[in-house]
Amino acid sequence: MNKKPRPIKVVAISGSLQAASRDTALLRLASSLAPECMEITLYDGIGDLPLFNPDLDTAALSSLVEFRARLDESDGVLIASPEHAHGVPGVLKNALDWIIETKEIANKPIAILNASPRTMLAQKNLTEILTAMDGRIVPEASIIVPLASDNLNETKIISSPKVSSAIHSAVLAFAVAIDRFRSEASE
């Protein structure tokens, strides 16, 4: 009997808390373009996490428990992040600090998206941070989408054939990489 494979579960995290974030728009687009075998769900709770303090790491922090559980249950992580002062936004770095010791992303495939043509260091810095956390960056699924215009809203981003094509290719590459990783892990 042929057993249908379990869907690929991906948690998408935006490094921006802005309501009209281009990075969040890219994640929503990725979710809508995901192949049938992949479920991409946006986790929008990083702004609810307290400032990192290991002394606060208790089961009583429901936002932290939920964040870790979502990552732990996923097969991969998709991060879209802006660049702030040549680095990773503080809210995203704070969220990552909470999972350094508990290792929810260790040996997990990760793809990084960036929506700015002006980015210089954020993607490189984020790659370095995630690699230090033992995440497995998938280079063919990690792209910079040059959204040069500041007046691009989510509707314009989603309806752009060029952007859709780039995100679709990245999502397909990510699905293939995760499937390969799952096959290797089951051997």
Q: 88-133, pLDDT tens digit by residue?
A: 999 999 999 999 999 999 999 999 998 876 777 888 999 999 999 9
Phi, psi of 109 (to 5 degrees): -65, 135
- Identify the pLDDT of residue 117: 67
What is the rounded average pLDDT of the residues 22-39? 94
- Identify the pLDDT of residue 186: 77
- The angle subtended at Cα 112 by Cα 122 and Cα 42, nearest 5°, is 115
Q: Are 130 and 110 in contact (CB under 8 A)?
A: yes
Say whether pLDDT at 60 is over 70: no
What percent helix, strand, coil does the chain show, rounded to 5? 45, 15, 40
Taking the whole predicted model, whether its pTM rises above 0.95 is answered as no
Residue corresponding to tokens 């922090």? 61
DSSP bridge pairs for 43: 13
Distance of CA 78 to the CA centre of its chain: 2
DSSP reduced 3-state for 113: strand
Distance of CA 56 to the CA centre of its chain: 25
- Identify the pLDDT of residue 5: 76
- Identify the pLDDT of residue 158: 77
State the average pLDDT for the chain.
89
Q: Tokens for 150?
A: 């500041």
Query: HSE on the CB side for 20, CA within 13 Å?
Result: 8
Query: HSE on the CB side for 9, CA within 13 Å?
Result: 9
The domains located in the chain, with CATH, are 8-186 (3.40.50.360)
